Amino acid sequence: MSIERVPRVTTMVAENLKSLNGNPIGIDIDGVTQATYFLALNHAAHNLKMIKPPLVKNLIGYWELINIVQANGMSDRDQATKYAKALWNNDNVYLRSPAMLGITTLLKIFNEVHLPYIFISSRPVEFLSVTQEWFAQTLPWVKSEDVILGRPEEVSGGYFKAAMITKHRVLLHIEDGLEEAQEIVEKTPAGVIIVPQPWNIGQRINHPRIKQFRPQEYEVTKGIWPVIKFLASSDARTFLQSVAQY
């Protein structure tokens, strides 16, 4: 899907997001921009000598990988937890995982209509350089200063993202973590769109500034596509009316 083929979608997204008044859009990285779970699952299968990698749909919780690791030979919970975290927070995973389906089209639409955006991730700061390298290879027009991470170890991902959203005056954030989305709307005036993933489709949040998609509105394998469809719809205008201004 290219913006050349969907001029009406591009126009409607631009019209709907006028209410942001030039404030940047925040975009999460893992599970929204980059499919890091793809390589993490493959590494787990290879290292633990599984017959084949677990399916993405098995990740019914973000840390379900801990249970998968335990079920495949690493029975100690603490050891499995440490191992699962190392699979997610890994230079090779962060450098080589593919982009989420649809993210390039979404960003091209934003670029076409001059909507500013920044990437806000709760990855530890030691992964900044490899994260910037991935962007340089995959989305080379993204400026390195627009990739923001560095969550302190004692701070939750939601708290860190909320602080960055406030600092950069973000009014719309695209996220995959429900707990983080809840912290964001509690601590900022921003609205949050949830990208459907296996770890967030089993819970519903009733909040006027959180947009979740119902099962009939998406297929998990299509990742970010529902976000594009939503931002081009009349529902997006209604949703954005609930977003306060700084």
The DSSP-derived string for the chain is --TTT-HHHHHHHHHHGGGGTTPPEEE-SBTTTB-HHHHHHHHHHHHTT-SSPPPGGG-SSTTHHHHHHHTTT---HHHHHHHHHHHHS-HHHHHHSPBPTTHHHHHHHHHHTT--EEEE----GGGHHHHHHHHHHHSTTS-GGGEE----TTS-HHHHHHHHHHHTT-SEEEES-HHHHHHHHHHSS-EEEEPP-TTTTT-----TTEE---GGG--GGGTTHHHHHHHTSHHHHHHHTTPPP-
Q: What angle do CA 45, 47, 49 make, to 5 degrees?
A: 60
Residues of the chain with pLDDT under 70: 1-6, 51, 62, 215-224
Q: What is the pLDDT of residue 172?
A: 98
Q: What is the pLDDT of residue 4?
A: 46
- The dihedrals phi and psi of 234, each to the nearest 5 degrees, come to -65, -25
Residue 25: CB atoms within 10 Å = 22
Q: What is the pLDDT of residue 2?
A: 46
Q: What is the pLDDT of residue 52?
A: 73
Tokens of 137: 């290879």
Domain residue ranges of the chain, discontinuous segments joined by +: 7-35+98-240, 37-95
Tokens of 21: 């008044």
Q: What is the pLDDT of residue 37?
A: 85
- For the segment 125-172, what is each residue's pLDDT rounded down to a tens digit? 999 999 999 999 999 999 999 999 988 888 999 999 999 999 999 999
Q: What is the pLDDT of residue 153?
A: 83
Residue 182 CA to residue 112 CA, distance in Å, equals 31
b (16+ CB within 10 A) / e for 108-117: bbbeeeebeb
CATH of 7-35+98-240, one of 3.30.930.10, 3.40.50.1000, 3.40.50.300, 3.60.15.10: 3.40.50.1000
Q: What is the pLDDT of residue 195?
A: 93
